[in-house]
Structure 1
């Protein structure tokens, strides 16, 4: 009986320790929280021409299934009720996942910003914004949304900040030099304490090289205000965004073909290309599934161990009592 109790106690103790480490792993990869804004720059009524134009534009924004580079920009209607919209997905997101993200974001904004002429929502995988003003090719670094990892950086902070800024500046130049379909750069590097750093920067590709560079510079300037000393952060503006972490959060990014030279931007969809789609964020999702699945299986095992221990502890005295009762009957019979 005592041996069984010791074994059960040890198993439960080890289970608690393992569960603690599993929770620590999850804590190192915090969930991304979206942000949205219903900008106070004018309202429309439910039966207005602007609302009809907005609904039409948002319902058709991602209808061009040939677009596989994650950037949608289109407009609909005539002034003063003309609507402009931009949708941008992270460069590694698959085309179908990109359209799904933008579709969900569209429904979200319609529900939460039912009368505002201008609104924007940032998700981990996509950004959608619309306005009654022309937003194509115009750099906008306000409003700013920031989120940081809860864990602090270890080691020399000055050295870390210097290395991070050098890395970000290099990626800024690389992204700004991108074409009209994609302005993005990502890197996997080794930081202080030999820890791996994953970084991604991105602009809406309708920006000029100078505007993309300036937008990212402005966004980088938010780090001391929100995220100084943290091992990871994400900062969004309407025209650009970037993120860095000590864990991978993006997958492979496919190359895109150069755009056709006989198209314009205004009221038509961007030019189609024939490149293969990016592999997207399958790695991130599979990692999440593996971690969650492992924890669920682990919890089930812990519960089974506890139930087994309780059963054995209850059953053992009962077996002894039954044995004594049988022996008593045998003695009486003799």
Structure 2
């Protein structure tokens, strides 16, 4: 039998019995209410309805927001690292139904559905922030450790330390770890830990270590237990309760046909930092909140400034030339969210057009219209052009690149974009795309793209696809179509590729 409690500071007055750990933990916060048919209510229902498919398709973790100003809703979904894609979908879907049933008009709520998945929504931005909203949820097995408790503690503490370190050292898409160790010849200890992957290494480590400490304070000497917090989860037992063979769901590509193991952003670490509540932080939030609408309503490009003097924030948004209005809005909105999570305190950051077909760049300095050729991000496909067609490829490549540079740089003050194809065998075609921010002069657009192609030649020549992005322009190509090929044609879905980060990244 398991004992479940919600107040670690007053255990005896909050004991609840449960027969297993599959019971859902749901918390409805008293931070405000809404009416079901209100704008906020409709936005909440809309974003939650989209969550199961997005979480399961994006590798088991997804964040999103919808709405404006006081009606904006933020949501996060995460599946346990050993979940299959199908189980992930089912868990998130079930959790959402439980949340709506149990918290019908609360503006913030979260759930761990028996721990295989986590859903959290709110009327505030909470991604990537270590939170202590209320008291953690915890439970323990009523059975006691029968062996030498001192020896058991030594083995248990060593395992917990290892699993904490492994989980917190995870990536920006998965911070999850399991571990097991022998206590006796016949007895093992099993442990599982996971953080929302938008936490920093330090915050994940802190969250998990606090959970372990909470467990030791409340439940020392028991035969298993768990602690759940808004950002992390910890469970251990004397029997295996997680899968050691089922892989976590693999992420789907954001650009059709390209499966990239590549980060989607760059934080300028030398730009200085700010606090969220500072004047600069508020100015930046103000212009970023309006950027998706402004970019999509102004032909796919918009520049904004907010604030005065040292607190002035500059932001630019640009959508790829083949993106429709709704797709542009969605892309810029997602990129803004990513930058807020990945670069929460840096005064300058940029999203990369390789993972999403748009760019967002903000800074505490004027950069509009200035040619900047560094820093550079680059990646390439692992596969090379076959040697028997390499000469034909390079001839087609050189002509294609020069033609595209000319077309893109001859664009207007609103649109500097080009795509082109070139066959190098009967069955093989090069597909390429170039774009400059249209605040550049024609000459500077040409220079930017020329430098980008030179970078590609240095790092990624003769590969079967690649990309280079500089602050003012980017260049992307593949052997499969990945952009709209005509005014009424959507890009074909090409086989999944893996890109490798270039030496300039």
Q: What TM-score do the two structures reach when normalised by structure 2?
A: 0.45
Determine which of 152, 159, 163 is the counterpart of 1:167: 159
**Cα gap change, 1:65 to 1:45, in 2 (>3 Å):** closer
- Bigger Rg, which one: 1
Q: Is the 8 A contact 2:191 2:237 kept in 1?
A: yes
Q: In the alignment, which residue of structure 2 is the partner of 1:54?
A: 44
Superposed counterparts of 1:57-76, under 5 Å: 57-64=47-54, 67=57, 69-76=59-66
Q: In the alignment, which residue of structure 1 is the partner of 2:264?
A: 262
SS of match in other structure, 1:243: strand
**Cα gap change, 1:192 to 1:40, in 2 (>3 Å):** farther
SS of match in other structure, 1:221: helix
**Cα gap change, 1:66 to 1:193, in 2 (>3 Å):** closer
- Verify: 1:212 aligned to 2:207, yes or no: no
Q: CA deviation at 1:63?
A: 2.8
Q: Is the 8 A contact 1:68 1:95 kept in 2?
A: no
Q: In the alignment, which residue of structure 1 is the partner of 2:180?
A: 188
Q: Which of 1 and 2 has higher RCO (CA within 8 Å, sep 6+)?
A: 1
Q: In the alignment, which residue of structure 2 is the partner of 1:136?
A: 127
Superposed counterparts of 1:20-31, under 5 Å: 30-31=20-21
Q: In the alignment, which residue of structure 2 is the partner of 1:157?
A: 149
* Comparing 59-68 and 32-41, the one that deviates more: 59-68
Q: CA deviation at 1:32?
A: 2.9
Q: Is the 8 A contact 1:68 1:94 kept in 2?
A: no
Q: CA deviation at 1:265?
A: 5.6
Per-residue Cα deviation, 1:241-277 (whole angstroms, up to 9, x for no partner): 1111111111135376874333666558x979x79xx
Q: In the alignment, which residue of structure 1 is the partner of 2:213?
A: 221
Q: CA deviation at 1:147?
A: 1.4
Gaps of 5+ in 1: 1-28, 276-334
Q: Is the 8 A contact 2:55 2:78 kept in 1?
A: no
Distance in 1 between residues matched to 2:52 and 2:123, nearest whole Å = 19
Determine which of 117, 121, 125 is the counterpart of 1:126: 117
SS of match in other structure, 2:110: strand
Q: Which has the higher strand share?
A: 2
Superposed counterparts of 1:74-85, under 5 Å: 74-85=64-75
Distance in 1 between residues matched to 2:112 and 2:141, nearest whole Å = 17
Distance in 1 between residues matched to 2:197 and 2:101, nearest whole Å = 28
Distance in 1 between residues matched to 2:187 and 2:86, nearest whole Å = 33
Q: CA deviation at 1:162?
A: 2.6
Q: Is the 8 A contact 2:56 2:86 kept in 1?
A: no
Determine which of 229, 237, 250 is the counterpart of 2:229: 237
Q: In the alignment, which residue of structure 1 is the partner of 2:104?
A: 114
Superposed counterparts of 1:6-21, under 5 Å: none
SS of match in other structure, 2:75: strand
Distance in 2 between residues matched to 1:155 and 1:66, nearest whole Å = 42
SS of match in other structure, 2:89: helix
**Cα gap change, 1:66 to 1:221, in 2 (>3 Å):** closer
Distance in 2 between residues matched to 1:179 and 1:198, nearest whole Å = 22
Distance in 2 between residues matched to 1:228 and 1:153, nearest whole Å = 9
Q: What TM-score do the two structures reach when normalised by structure 1?
A: 0.67
Q: CA deviation at 1:112?
A: 1.1
Count of paired positions: 245
Q: In the alignment, which residue of structure 2 is the partner of 1:200?
A: 192
Q: Is the 8 A contact 1:76 1:267 kept in 2?
A: no
**Cα gap change, 1:220 to 1:266, in 2 (>3 Å):** farther
